[in-house]
A and B are shown apart, each in its own frame.
Chain A
Amino acid sequence: MSAISITTSPPVAEPVATQPLPAQTAARPALQAADSVEARSPTLGERIAPAAGKVVRALVAMISGMGLLLAIWWAVSSRIDMFPGPVVTWHAAVELLSDPFYSNGPNDMGIGWNVLYSLGRVGVGFGLAALVGIPLGFVVGRFKFMNMATEPVIGLLRPVSPLAWLPIGLLVFQEANLAAIWVIFICSIWPMIMNTAAGVRSVPQDYLNVARVLNLSEWKIVTRILFPAVLPNILTGVRLAIGTAWLVIVAAEMLTGGVGIGFWVWDEWNNLKVEHIIIAIFIIGIVGLILEQALMLVARRFSYESR
């Protein structure tokens, strides 16, 4: 038995066996080591390793992805004049982000202010879109006639780039800031209407039968059955809308000017501070990621396991 253990597991047993006095006690430690390795290796391998392995693999994947991005960036920057590499940008970022909330008048404010102004516009435009779009979605989803009436209108307007609405906003509101908010409103409202309406249409017949058997009032049907049942769809619409709104605000601000991350990018281009543009790209990405994740968190809070 012991002879078999020793001979069958030489690679594992050998280093353990050779450490203590080799001649006399070699057999027993080797046997113990072989046994323990054979007995433990599945538990170690099955319990800890896969969990740790998953984390390690995810980390390695993430780092290699980011590394690839940095490598491409570095390669491009070293071949093109004026294109700042990762190191230059890092130093600029440290300087820029050390004082994000300074203010030297409306034309020279810290990047923190610019991001907050942009978020403010998105918040207002997006909030107004929710106020109009979600109730409209309910009506469109609940009444077939309204659905048929709005379908061609939405079908026609939805594919239009939100920026095409900017001149209309400027004409109507005579003010750049309101025009930018208007563009956000327009681009946010479609996913809200469409997802809310789809949610209302897909409320399980069971719930509506309950409402009918209990003879609930229309108000109770909306507050106790329709709204909770549709909430996950509404949140999907909200998430899609905020993603689009954050994409669009940067472009809209480039055109409208004023304080905001979009115009800040354009301004830095005019100043030829390309490293600042790259920093802005990262900041826009991070803010978008945070918005998305925050809404995912809210959505998870309101997802019901129905059965």
Chain B
Amino acid sequence: MTKKIVQIENVGQSFDTKKGPYVALREINLDIREGESIALIGHSGCGKSTLLNLIAGLTLPSSGVMLCDGREIAGPGPERAVVFQNHSLLPWLTCFDNVYLAVERVFGAREGKARLRERTHAALDLVGLSHAENKHPHEISGGMKQRVGIARALSMQPRILLMDEPFGALDALTRANLQDELMKILAATKATMVMVTHDVDEAVLLSDRVIMLTNGPAATIGEILEVDIERPRDRLALAHDAHFGECRAAIMEFLYNKQLKRAA
């Protein structure tokens, strides 16, 4: 069978606050298989990003075990690249240098400068930004910034791509455009992806499994939906697809019927 890249076993996360410990996540059990795309969905504050940060290693779990390729996740690592919601490009570096910083860190010890530059060009080319290499982040649009963020993550050749609401701040048209490109890139690179989203359509369109989280505090996995739609997926054709509609309905049912009451 397909290999498990990340194993999350009985993981819980709590934070110390002034009012005492706050339990954000409890009893999370999830295996992420090689090559699959996963969406984490849930209402705001349910701990989607907390779970992603745990996989990234930016925070460590309060209880339970998190493994990546069989080794415990003890901190961030280049095999788990993160695309941040607000792109987080360094404003004083050009697009090229932003990506190069990552490339240099991952491959700098083994490869020469020419090869590193080549990798950087290739990553920017993959997201269609070769022409903007020498621009600074404030000179390009929000969608382009997010592409650079994706290029930076992909350039590290990660085992798994972690995306925290990557298209949340973009307008609908740009978002659709980037979703389509992301699908192409994932198909071409056969990358594994975990994406946090609160967009039902995006979750169904992009993923093989949709992980639905219950409301916080003490959120956990409520339901897992398998999206059995063939790839490549076409958003226009899917608009009339029965299974797509069922998937959407199932997620909506979970979010608005089963979870909303507790939120209010």
Contacts and interface: CB of A to CB of B under 8 A. Distances in A.
Given A213-B56, A213-B76, A305-B138, A225 B105 contact: no
B102 A207 contact: no
Given A305-B138, A307-B138, A213 B90 contact: no
B105 A206 contact: no
A104 interface: no
Interface string A214-245: 11100010001100110000000000000000
Nearest to A204: B88
B238 interface: no
Contacts of B156: 214
A215 B101 CA distance: 11
Given A209-B84, A213-B76, A224 B105 contact: no
B144 to A, nearest CB: 13
Interface in B210-255: none
A73 interface: no
Chain B interface category by residue count: 20 to 34
Contacts of A28: none
Contact of A209 (B88, B136, B138): B88
Interface in A199-215: 206-207, 209-210, 212-215
B130 interface: no
Interface string B99-115: 00110010000000000
7 contacts: A212-B75, A214-B105, A216-B101, A216-B105, A228-B90, A305-B138, A306-B137
Chain A interface category by residue count: 10 to 19
Contacts of A206: 84, 86, 88
Interface of B: 56, 58, 75-78, 80-82, 84, 86, 88, 90-93, 101-102, 105, 136-138, 156
A66 to B, nearest CB: 39
Given A207-B90, A213-B76, A224 B101 contact: yes
B58 A209 contact: yes
Interface in A169-227: 206-207, 209-210, 212-216, 220, 224-225
B78 A306 contact: no
A214 B78 contact: yes
B86 to A, nearest CB: 6
A224 B88 CA distance: 14
Contact of B78 (A215, A228, A307): A215
A143 interface: no
A304 interface: yes
A68 B94 CA distance: 50
Contacts of B76: 212-213, 215
A215 B105 CA distance: 8
Contacts of B93: 224
B55 to A, nearest CB: 12
A293 B162 CA distance: 46
A209 B77 CA distance: 12
Contact of A210 (B75, B78, B80, B90): B90
Nearest to A304: B91
A107 to B, nearest CB: 50
A206 B77 CA distance: 16
B56 A306 contact: no
Contacts of A220: 101, 105
A229 B76 CA distance: 22
Given A220-B105, A307-B138, 17 more contacts: A206-B84, A206-B88, A207-B90, A209-B82, A210-B84, A212-B58, A212-B75, A213-B58, A214-B78, A214-B101, A215-B77, A216-B101, A216-B105, A224-B101, A304-B91, A304-B136, A307-B91
Contacts of B75: 212
A214 B86 contact: no
Given A209-B58, A212-B58, A307-B138, A228 B92 contact: yes
B138 A306 contact: yes
B35 to A, nearest CB: 22
